[in-house]
């Protein structure tokens, strides 16, 4: 049986916070092995702030508009992150570019609503992604959980979940189906991270098998 120890996570948001809320719900029912020790929003007054407060999670706002460039903004974000010493940082609908300090490389995860590397990059988020998928005539879409690096939606992919594109899909119906896949994929990736089963080799990620239980251990 894998180690069920919870990891400490900070979640970064920019909007409604539904992805964050799913993670917090899964953490509360024990199916996602993390403890959220803080939420940081890049925008003031968004719905995600109230959603985090509902769970009793401390929230900080680092408004991107208050900083001249991404470097100054990123320094303030990670100053807040450092204050609570998390094991992992989870981007959940976070739309601002981040410069990663060296110590956080390999410790920041993101989920994107497409099968990367398709339909990723700057400006590709939310309904825009699903509109582009339909316009391109894709037969499949889905979501990708990946490590964050210095490029938008570019880091090594941890896992993906596929959904079929239906002939009568609209961007909204496709988005709803992809979001259902996201609700399963992100907690699963967090659990793999918590269980130390992710091995990054160059630009790829291997999922390591569950370690066998020690002889004589109860099941």
Which has the higher per-residue pLDDT, 33 or 203? 33
Domain annotation covers residue 215: no
Number of domains the chain contains: 2
What span, in angstroms and rounded, lies between the C-alpha atoms of 130 and 140?
11
* Nearest CA among 46, 37, 84 for reference residue 65: 46
What span, in angstroms and rounded, lies between the C-alpha atoms of 191 and 63?
30
Tell me the helices (H) and strands (E) count for the chain, helix number first.
Answer: 5, 9
| Tokens of residue 32, six digits | 């996602």
Residues 204 and 116 in one domain: yes
Q: What is the pLDDT of residues 81-121, one digit of tens each?
A: 999 999 999 999 999 999 999 999 999 999 999 999 999 99
Return the active site residues.
112
Residue 219 has pLDDT above 50, yes or no: no
| pLDDT (0 to 100) of residue 3 | 46
Q: What is the pLDDT of residues 10-29, one digit of tens each?
A: 999 999 999 999 999 999 99
What span, in angstroms and rounded, lies between the C-alpha atoms of 135 and 46?
30
Domain annotation covers residue 137: yes
Range of the domain at 50: 1-104
| pLDDT (0 to 100) of residue 24 | 98
Share of the chain above pLDDT 70, in %: 95
Question: Sorting pLDDT into bands at 50, 70 and 90, what band is 215?
Answer: low
Domain annotation covers residue 149: no
Helix (H) or strand (E) holding 40: strand 34-41
Positive/negative CA dihedral, 64, 17, 3, 201: negative
Domain annotation covers residue 80: yes
* Nearest CA among 92, 95, 27, 101 for reference residue 59: 92
| Tokens of residue 178, six digits | 């992809």
Domain annotation covers residue 79: yes
What span, in angstroms and rounded, lies between the C-alpha atoms of 73 and 110?
18
Largest separation between any pair of C-alpha atoms in the chain: 60
Residue 218 has pLDDT above 90, yes or no: no
Residue pair 100/148 in contact by the 8 Å Cβ criterion: yes
DSSP designation for 217: -
Q: What is the mean pLDDT of the chain?
A: 94
**What CATH number is associated with residue 191?**
3.40.50.170
What span, in angstroms and rounded, lies between the C-alpha atoms of 158 and 192?
9
Q: What is the pLDDT of residues 35-58, one digit of tens each?
A: 999 999 999 999 999 999 999 999
Mean pLDDT, rounded, for 152-177: 97
Tell me how crowded residue 17 is: count the other CB atoms within 10 A of its CB. Answer: 25
Residue 217 has pLDDT above 60, yes or no: no
| pLDDT (0 to 100) of residue 132 | 98
Residues 66 and 159 in one domain: no
Domain annotation covers residue 166: yes
| pLDDT (0 to 100) of residue 211 | 80
Residues 71 and 31 in one domain: yes
Question: Sorting pLDDT into bands at 50, 70 and 90, what band is 2?
Answer: very low
Q: What is the pLDDT of residues 184-200, one digit of tens each?
A: 999 999 999 999 999 99
Contacts by 27-32, CB closer than 8 A, 24 or more apart = 28/55, 31/187, 32/187, 32/190, 32/191
């Amino acid at each position: 049986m894998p180690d069920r120890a919870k990891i400490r996570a900070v979640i970064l948001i920019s909007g409604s916070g539904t992805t964050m809320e799913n993670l917090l719900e899964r953490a509360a029912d024990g199916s996602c092995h993390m403890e959220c020790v803080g939420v940081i929003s890049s925008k003031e007054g968004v719905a995600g702030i109230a959603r985090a407060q509902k769970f009793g999670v401390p929230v900080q706002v680092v408004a991107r508009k208050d900083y001249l460039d991404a470097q100054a903004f990123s320094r303030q974000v990670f100053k807040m992150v450092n204050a609570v010493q998390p094991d992992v940082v989870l981007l959940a609908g976070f739309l601002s570019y981040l410069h990663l300090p060296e110590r956080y490389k390999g410790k920041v995860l993101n989920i994107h609503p497409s099968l990367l590397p398709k339909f990723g990059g700057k400006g590709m988020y939310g309904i825009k992604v699903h509109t582009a998928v339909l316009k391109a005539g894709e037969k499949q879409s889905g979501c990708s959980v990946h490590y964050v690096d210095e490029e938008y939606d570019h880091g090594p992919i941890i896992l993906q979940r596929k959904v079929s594109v239906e002939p009568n899909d609209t961007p909204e119906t496709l988005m709803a189906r992809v979001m259902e896949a996201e609700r399963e994929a992100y907690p699963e990736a967090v659990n793999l991270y918590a269980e130390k089963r992710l091995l990054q080799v160059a630009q790829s990620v291997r999922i390591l098998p569950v370690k066998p239980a020690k002889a004589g251990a109860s099941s």
